[in-house]
Structure 1
Amino acid sequence: MNYCLILIWHHSMKAIRIYQIQSILCLILLIVLSKANAQQKHMPLITLAEKSQNLEAVKMSSNGKYITSRLVYDLNRDTLLIFKTSAKDKLLGFRTKIGEHYFIGENTLLLPLGNTAELWNLQTNKQIIFTDIVQAKALTGSTQFVIHYGHQNNSKLILYDQNGMAKQTLENVKNFFLLPEARIAAVKYDDKKAVSQLFIVSPAEIKKVYSSSLLIEDIEMGHGSSEIFISERNTTDKYQNLKYLDFYNGELHVLKDILPVNFNAAYLENTKDEKGYFIRLWSEGKAEDGMVDIWYGSDRDLIQKYYPRGIESAYLWQPKEGKIQDLGRQDLQNIISLGNGRYFLGINPSILNDYTVFNPDIEINVLDAEAAEWKTLGRFTPEIYVSDNGQFLLSPKNSQWFLYDLKENNTIPIGDTKLTKPFFAQNDSTIFFEGEDGLWQYNITSSKLKKIINAPGYTAKIINGNVNLMSYSGISKNTVSLQYPLLVQLSDPDKMITKFMSWHNGKETLMVKPSANLYTEPAYNNQIKQLCYIEQNYNLSPRLTYIQNGKKEQILFQTNRHDKKVSAFRQETITYADGKSNPCQGLLFYPADYSESETYPMVVQIYEKQGKVKNQYLNLSLHQTEGFNTRALLENGYFVFYPDIIYGNQGSGIAALQCVTNALDALKFKKQIDPKKIGLTGHSFGGYESNFIATQSDRFAAYLSGTGNSDIVSSYFNFNLNYLMPIFWRFETYQYRMHKPFSEDKQLYYDNNPIYNAEKVSAPMLLWTGMQDENIKWEETRSFYNALRRNKKPVIALFYRNEGHSLLNMDNNLDLSIRTLDWFNYFLKDDYSSSWIDQEIKKGAD
């Protein structure tokens, strides 16, 4: 009897398992079919999006005759277009799957592609193909290039001229480093003998200059043309060795001979003092071990809990004199060279960090290495600019700029709030300021400030300045050369008008006349006689435009010639006020094939101020990382509205609600917009705003929110693994603009917290997030889903595995793009053909 029961139970369980497997297979099949049907439904749009083109990465040859630019499609961006500006047919040709590429001299292009490279003489249209290559690079400032071949060619390193003629050949090369004056440092390594050999390769000769039992990892140039630094490492340990070599006379100096310390990495910087070099030595720190990790409330450097900072020491090394000067101070974490060999900055970036601001102030200490004296300069905002010769520091404070003269030990105020980003002239005589109403010049000697390009209403931006970020974030060396003209972009942020001008020795020249079109990625030569840029507008597909010596612009290439609709698109600026009567603007895009006699649904997209979309081409893409595309909605018969949001002291959620509500009121005169068919969407901070508005408004028929905070009280106290710090700053002094901590005004946080009012949501919500998101923890999305579910609100949540704050996987962002269209079509156009929505809503189902 027991045997029979066991046998019956066994067969029953087997049947249940078969049924479960069949159910799972059916569910998988339904999901696959549903996804396939969804994509098939939007296939005309997908096909059109795959044809859509854009441009990026413009380059110009030194003589301005040849231009390259990448042609970008929805699914790839590896097509390179090559143009000859003087030819009748401007497009010389194109290449695909090209990464980095180089102009060699004035008329030749080097195109590495995988294990091959092409040398293309653009003047004669002759090509040479090189195969079995490992790497191909141009030598900066010369007409030479180098190719490192693979094992089939004995790992040869060959130096070529611009005609593809071999000048020097060296076999069995492991690695190489580019040096000035068309030279190469090539490393051979004999695995059997464990010996490294270093050769200097130039067009004139190949010279063996050094050998070692250590593995050569890096080569850096010193002051003179024959002075180099060699970084080596023993293959059996993790410590690095640093040596100075003058390969002209063979003079060799080893750092450990004068400084017997172990270090894992060395960082070297040249100084204006031709005898000295600034070196930073770094030794790795040890992660805390043991059964407990102790966190102290006074700890201002919590990033070390995840990435131990290690120990950094700084020195001024004069190898030929056999001298080394310790620049460190135990209380200072970072030592920064100003480049002149005399002055150095010392900071402890965490000492003023209480995590209430993203970039905390820093206390600046200055070392005068000649006097071996430290002094405290004071508290600075983390926006410090260093002059080319390192004598001056420039930093803003209380809406005013201050110039610090380290040599004369004085401080000079530069009093104009219209000044923004500065650039020092390379002789430290002048500072050029980007700013409002034009370009400004400050003479350091006379302490006089004047406007050198007068452009009322325009904001100036220097295009051809050099920006050198120094070893600490927030400190940079911005310079311009007075030898060549300055190229200045002038933009009117209110009228969205842009023009280009050049300035040289007091003379200003209009390069590109004012236009409402958007100009991006300008390419130019040193004399600014030729200029090329990408030009576009919402109703103008991107095109590559070229101008020479102020002559009439030439269109080198026009994208999307198939896009006949774009010129007919309409856009309107809608004015309204925020909750405190401050003027605001919103951009309204009209649907494709618009007719005044019809009514249309509308999707409102929110973030902060969004005026930048005004003159951006309405590019059709279904692979946006946020799943939202304006053109896709317009093609589907929607209005799309971008209202600006202005923030006060009421909290960002309430500010968004007031602005969006008033913006909708301003649209009531638009009889073509169906007020009962309006949807709201936002991503990240816009996702939070969408979550909040959904709990307060009855103006929307559907909501879509991506990776947005839903519980700002809980999130306020989170430790953010994206930034590796507490996130108080995001709420108090950054995007959420609460202006005070939670403890001082809890009601303010409560009043702006979406999840506390989840029961008030009056329309269906689609939520999405990436399950690897640490910017806004993905649990914020699941918590809001739970709150809506508990209150019996219609909600669907999409959790994308292996994705972060935005969706990078092409299949995933296509899926989200399609679901976005499905969602709004379902609730705003009564298109009930999406079964994945039916499973929650049951509306329109059989």
Structure 2
Amino acid sequence: MAININKLIILLLILMGMICYGQFRQDSVRDESSEFYNIAVNKVSDDGKWIVATKVYRQNYDTAVVLATGRSGVTSLVGTLTKKYQYSFVKGDQLLALGQGKAVLWNLRTGMQKEPKTGREGRESVNVMQSGVMEKGDKYFLQTSDSILHIYDAKSALLEKVERVQYFKVSGSGSVLYIVKKSGRETQLVKYSGNKVESVYAAPGMIRSMEETPSESFLILKEETRDGGGVNSSFQKVVLLDTKRGELVFPNIGEVRKEEYLRFTEIQNGSAMMITGMTHIPVEKGTVDIWYGNDGNLEAKQEGSFVKRYWIWKKDGNELMSVPSDRFSTVISLNNPDYFLMFNREELQNYSTLFPLIHGFLYDRKKGRYEDLGILQAEVSVSDRGSHFIYKNKECLWVLVDRETSRRTVLEKKDLTKAYFSPDGRTIYFESSSDLWKYEIKKGQFIALNIDHENEVKVVTKDETDLYPDSGYNFRRSILNVDVPVLLAVTRKGTIEKTFLKWEKGRLDTLMASSASNITWYKTDESLKKVVYVEESLHFPPRIVYKEIGKEKGNILFQSNVHDKISASIRREVISFNNREGTALKGLLYYPIGYIEGKKYPIVVHIYEVQSRNPNQYLSPLNNFPVGFSIRKLLEEGYFVYLPDIVNGPSGVGKSALDCVESSLDVLKTHTDVDLTNVGLIGHSFGGYRANFIAGNSNRFKTYISGAGASDLTRMYFSYNETSSTPFYWQFEEGQYNMHAAFAENKKLYMDNNPIENVHKVNAPMLLWTGMEDKRIVWDQTMEFYIGLKRNKKDVVALFYPGEAHVFTIGSKAEKDLALRIQDWWDYFLKGKRDIPWIDNQIKKDAD
């Protein structure tokens, strides 16, 4: 016992020394990233004249800039706001801003700012809690903490006050304000429109929620009622407000307990409604938890399960009908009140894929008949009238179904991704990796639309409704109207470079492009003639640009991080190389800041998958993902940084990585300024696994850093992933590891690519790190590799961070500590810096 206590004391002293050293380093090094910020556009006025954008620093986002699009450069800056987080544009070039209980109305032309009067001045306890606009900014409103809603015109004249307000929403059109308020013992729904408040409905109980359907045809209320007033006798009552007729409808769905969640799916723009009731069954904790080998719903072990029931309500005749759920657990509306897609989600779930195939049936409610559609993928698009739908079969071919005739047509053309119906349902448009395609249903013909034959084309402006929300499945009503301007995005293959095109009546006009930059955000006007977007590049920080179609260049309205004098001088080279299989690949080589030709510099190699797709990223000090890997920081410290592409081949995920990385280094032999005797390798997660594997199979690196990486593929293959609530083996067979075989089918492939098998061959010092709350790659995978290295007397330091997950908390002590230790590690092994106590504790003792 005394020996164990002595060991414990020594360990504590070592840990205290490490903590003190880390604290000293944190206090002594200035955090340069605190001076940098990203830019986020919050609001653009409907007329495109004004913009509000927030400066997003690492620790705060309480400063916003207001810009005028009619100007450029520094003259576009109208002013700044601090500690405001809610913004609305009011008619007359005014900005309504709310934050910390105060609202301000700012006339952007005159510069005058004022606080709207709520009639409660002098009462310090009354704060403004919510704000907004209606009627396209002709009116605005404020809700104060005393539950009063104040409605004003654009000249700040008080038009109306509504008291005892619980909550409210503005209609999609912006013309109506729906308000739920208390009135005595009742709860009322009132609406404000046309300068008057009108009572719509009074409920004796609580109106728990209200939502508007996508077509704005109905407002859905969920009212809480009580049977006999008992505590355990709360039920829900559904009330529909026909917004066009102003009529109330009460679908009689029977008893719905308070705990049952009701979801509403609109059918054919309000002609009908599908109602889904979902009751959550929590996980039971008992003496034993039984797991069955044929269980297709392992997610329920963590999340619990759901019991569902379904109804269809038809507007004509106020008819409510039950949809059977005894045979199938999942029922999907096909945008038609009489036809549904049904399946048992767990039937084909063997967890070898993330989203399993489904055995689908088309249910005809009127005839009570089920038609077997066979095995299909969970991807369905439905026409606006519900007359046709299209799904992908297991061969990845689209199958068109005519609901009236039940005729099924397999579309033999491959490489068609998403499908959209025309509003009349006669034509289907398909995205693909080469051009946009049109299929005329009556003729059965495909026509290329000649957008771009070489690159991926996607539709940006479309009309879609999710028919099965929050499932991960793609069941949608998908409509593309080519009679109005359509925004298309064309992505150049192998990159993230995009060109955005306005497509109108067959004519194409370029709205914006990112050939030498990244477009990270954009917003267009309805006519697609104007656009506001944020772009960045390797040589300039994010900036806000305003552009009009037809003009070659846009106006730069705001440039962030103007103090950054380094980015413009950063040098990057695109390296071309082939792996041993002859695959053409690329790598991004960044040069040290202040690079001097003829001088030798150490190099840090970062690995993951294909990294060359984004050569235009701005290297902000804020970009430090994975934790501790900041390209810019390394360049400033005098390192080359190299990001080679990695692709999987038949030899397996680890061997392919080894081949790609070593082939990429071979090409650098002609770069005499790169010191190939001082090369470090770093990776996180999937990159961490690859770093572990390469460490046991290469002699090209002087040191390695591996974060949260798998070390034992066999153990991980047969483990349970708490992040996805599934077994892990799908990630190996069809996911990121892409082994194309089960373990039992090719054990050698798994063993040959397993890092732990060659842990004894690691011949350079390794730094391992992980968060001990990591549920994605569990922390003991790192511990296993550490134990393997320790057993084989290798130089290793492992860092285990309590309370941190797969990605560390931004700004946490752990994040800062790890960043400092990683920099220490590079300096120690690649630059020869010594007297770093926490590293010396391993290396010097090992030398002794």
Taking structure 2 as the reference length, what is the TM-score of the superposition? 0.90
- The answer for unaligned runs of 5 or more in structure 1 is 1-12
Matched, 1:439 2:425: no
- The answer for unaligned runs of 5 or more in structure 2 is 117-125
Match of 1:515 in 2: 515
Match of 1:164 in 2: 156
Matched, 1:381 2:377: yes
Shift of the 518–457 alpha-carbon distance from structure 1 to 2, 3 Å rule, reads farther
Match of 1:659 in 2: 660
Distance in 2 (alpha carbons) for counterparts of 1:271 and 1:140: 27
1:495 to partner: Cα distance = 6.9
- 649-658 vs 436-445, which moves further: 436-445
Match of 1:761 in 2: 762
Match of 2:749 in 1: 748
1:58 to partner: Cα distance = 5.9
Distance in 2 (alpha carbons) for counterparts of 1:766 and 1:24: 19
Match of 1:90 in 2: 76
Match of 1:9 in 2: none
CA offsets 1:157-208 (integer angstroms, 9 cap, x no match)? 1233344333221111122233355223322237xx7532332222422222
Amino acid of the structure 2 residue aligned with 1:51: E
Distance in 1 (alpha carbons) for counterparts of 2:585 and 2:294: 43
Match of 1:188 in 2: 181
For the Cα contact (< 8 Å) 2:539–2:567, is it kept in 1?
Answer: yes
Taking structure 1 as the reference length, what is the TM-score of the superposition? 0.90
Distance in 1 (alpha carbons) for counterparts of 2:548 and 2:199: 47
CA offsets 1:790-837 (integer angstroms, 9 cap, x no match)? 211111112222221101241222222222211111111112243222
1:255-334 correspondence runs (5 A): 255=251, 257=252, 259-260=254-255, 262=257, 264-272=260-268, 274-288=270-284, 290-318=286-314, 321-334=317-330
Amino acid of the structure 2 residue aligned with 1:150: S
Amino acid of the structure 2 residue aligned with 1:288: E
1:26 to partner: Cα distance = 6.9
1:608 to partner: Cα distance = 0.8
For the Cα contact (< 8 Å) 2:335–2:477, is it kept in 1?
Answer: no
Distance in 1 (alpha carbons) for counterparts of 2:748 and 2:309: 48
For the Cα contact (< 8 Å) 2:39–2:56, is it kept in 1?
Answer: yes
Residue aligned with 2:264, SS: strand
Alignment equivalent of 2:34, drawn from 50, 59, 70: 50
1:319 to partner: Cα distance = 6.9
Distance in 1 (alpha carbons) for counterparts of 2:353 and 2:92: 49
Alignment equivalent of 2:169, drawn from 149, 169, 177: 177
Distance in 1 (alpha carbons) for counterparts of 2:733 and 2:427: 38
Residue aligned with 2:825, SS: helix
Residue aligned with 2:332, SS: strand
Residue aligned with 1:310, SS: strand
Match of 2:529 in 1: 529
1:564 to partner: Cα distance = 2.0
Match of 1:393 in 2: 389
Shift of the 809–223 alpha-carbon distance from structure 1 to 2, 3 Å rule, reads closer
1:761-800 correspondence runs (5 A): 761-800=762-801
Shift of the 72–602 alpha-carbon distance from structure 1 to 2, 3 Å rule, reads same
CA offsets 1:664-697 (integer angstroms, 9 cap, x no match)? 1121111111112111111111111111111111
Distance in 2 (alpha carbons) for counterparts of 1:493 and 1:226: 42
Matched, 1:71 2:63: no
Pairwise CA RMSD of aligned residues? 3.1
Matched, 1:425 2:422: yes
Shift of the 135–491 alpha-carbon distance from structure 1 to 2, 3 Å rule, reads same
Residue aligned with 1:526, SS: coil
Amino acid of the structure 1 residue aligned with 2:156: G
Amino acid of the structure 2 residue aligned with 1:825: D
Shift of the 623–286 alpha-carbon distance from structure 1 to 2, 3 Å rule, reads closer
1:267 to partner: Cα distance = 1.3
For the Cα contact (< 8 Å) 1:267–1:279, is it kept in 2?
Answer: yes
1:630 to partner: Cα distance = 0.9
Distance in 1 (alpha carbons) for counterparts of 2:483 and 2:142: 34
Match of 2:585 in 1: 584
For the Cα contact (< 8 Å) 1:62–1:106, is it kept in 2?
Answer: no
For the Cα contact (< 8 Å) 2:335–2:382, is it kept in 1?
Answer: no
Amino acid of the structure 2 residue aligned with 1:454: I
Residue aligned with 1:395, SS: strand
Distance in 1 (alpha carbons) for counterparts of 2:619 and 2:392: 38
| Number of residue equivalences | 822
Matched, 1:230 2:229: no
Amino acid of the structure 2 residue aligned with 1:435: S
Match of 2:485 in 1: 485
Shift of the 792–377 alpha-carbon distance from structure 1 to 2, 3 Å rule, reads same
CA offsets 1:68-124 (integer angstroms, 9 cap, x no match)? 333333333443322111135111122234434333458333323232233333344
1:459 to partner: Cα distance = 2.3
Amino acid of the structure 1 residue aligned with 2:654: G
Distance in 1 (alpha carbons) for counterparts of 2:337 and 2:364: 9
For the Cα contact (< 8 Å) 2:510–2:549, is it kept in 1?
Answer: no
Amino acid of the structure 2 residue aligned with 1:829: K
1:526 to partner: Cα distance = 0.6
- 828-837 vs 432-441, which moves further: 432-441
For the Cα contact (< 8 Å) 1:70–1:79, is it kept in 2?
Answer: yes
Match of 1:103 in 2: 89
1:709 to partner: Cα distance = 0.7
For the Cα contact (< 8 Å) 1:253–1:320, is it kept in 2?
Answer: no
Shift of the 845–234 alpha-carbon distance from structure 1 to 2, 3 Å rule, reads farther
Match of 2:119 in 1: none
For the Cα contact (< 8 Å) 2:334–2:389, is it kept in 1?
Answer: no
Distance in 2 (alpha carbons) for counterparts of 1:227 and 1:40: 59
Residue aligned with 2:750, SS: helix
Matched, 1:837 2:839: yes
CA offsets 1:715-742 (integer angstroms, 9 cap, x no match)? 1111111111111101111111111111
Alignment equivalent of 1:146, drawn from 130, 141, 149: 141
Shift of the 423–57 alpha-carbon distance from structure 1 to 2, 3 Å rule, reads farther
Alignment equivalent of 1:209, drawn from 200, 203, 211: 200
The alignment-based identity, stated in percent, is 32
Alignment equivalent of 1:36, drawn from 23, 41, 47: 23
1:610 to partner: Cα distance = 1.0
